[in-house]
Amino acid sequence: MSERRKVSFIGLGVMGGAIARHIALAGHELTIYNRSPERARKWADDNPGLAHRIAANPAHAAQDAEVVITCVGNDDDLSEVVLGPNGVFRMLKKGATFIDHTTVSARIARQISVEARDLRIHCVDAPMTGSQSGAEQGTLTLMCGGRDDAIEAARPVMEAYSHRIVHVGKAGSGQIAKMANQICIAGNVAALAEAVRFAQASHLDMDKVYEAISGGAAQSWQMDNRWHSMNADDFDFGFAIDWMRKDLGLSLDEGRGLGVSLPVAALIDQFFADIQAQGGGRLDTSAIIKRLPKKGNP
């Protein structure tokens, strides 16, 4: 392990809780905080001995920390825990490192970076991909924006839960890369849904179809991990449609600012909205198949 550090983790959701566990198991001194105190207590109960302390608020979490990591919900949540009256930057000391794993707008990432620069804090926006299983296995991919020295300061801790760390560019660049990632995923899962329904209607052996097409140009992470579950109408996985719509909204907003047309992303966003309207917002994104009638095989 690299040098033991005092690390505070804020946001113990599905992804954050798994990441925090890897940080503690790597030997770092871990402080945890969650805006819902019950979740922090439950995490500590489920992971006895891993949390050095439970903080009362983000500023308390940042006190004496060498590294603070956030993984919250959206721009407003991030602004509150970092820049608010009891935010991280109220207490984080000069020379410390701030890492954000939330998928947010490039605008808020740049704003936080400016605030961090003025406070002489290393700052990295590092949205992630790899799904819940990647967080649990410690094999996430991180797409990072920030200065070279900030990335290198953050790297020894980030290596505890990721297998790929890519420095994309300056502050906000990690978020732009994540938006591109989500555009790709949305198009992929929508096309996969149509392929599954098409094969079902043709009365084909779905295992054989998967075997035939997954070894060629059609292969993808979505196909390998969601073909069989979509065929079985199983949508109880980690990344909810509600979150994908939030991410696509960021992509579409950024696209408008850049003058870039994203017609496919906009269309698929509306497909996801159809599932939300049916009450399926908390289902995995592969539930997009539910908007397509199932014909042929029962």
190: Cβ–Cβ under 8 A, 6 or more apart, which residues? 268, 271, 288
Which residue of the set 42, 93, 170, 178 is catalytic?
178
- Quick one: tokens of 150? 């900030």
Which amino acid is it at 9? F
Phi-psi region of 169 (alpha: psi -120 to 50; beta: other; left: phi over 0): left
Strands 128-129 and 140-145: antiparallel
The radius of gyration computed from the CA coordinates of the chain, to the nearest angstrom, equals: 20
As a whole number of angstroms, the distance between CA 228 and CA 246 comes to 26
Catalytic status, residue 295: no
As a whole number of angstroms, the distance between CA 145 and CA 49 comes to 33
As a whole number of angstroms, the distance between CA 199 and CA 207 comes to 10
The torsion angle over the Cα atoms of residues 107, 241, 41 and 128, rounded to 10 degrees, is -50
As a whole number of angstroms, the distance between CA 7 and CA 23 comes to 8
CA angle (79, 115, 92) in 5-degree steps: 80
The distance from CA 170 to its chain's CA centroid, rounded to whole angstroms, is: 19
Q: Is 124 helix (H, G, I), strand (E, B) or coil?
A: strand
As a whole number of angstroms, the distance between CA 122 and CA 118 comes to 10
Active site residues: 178
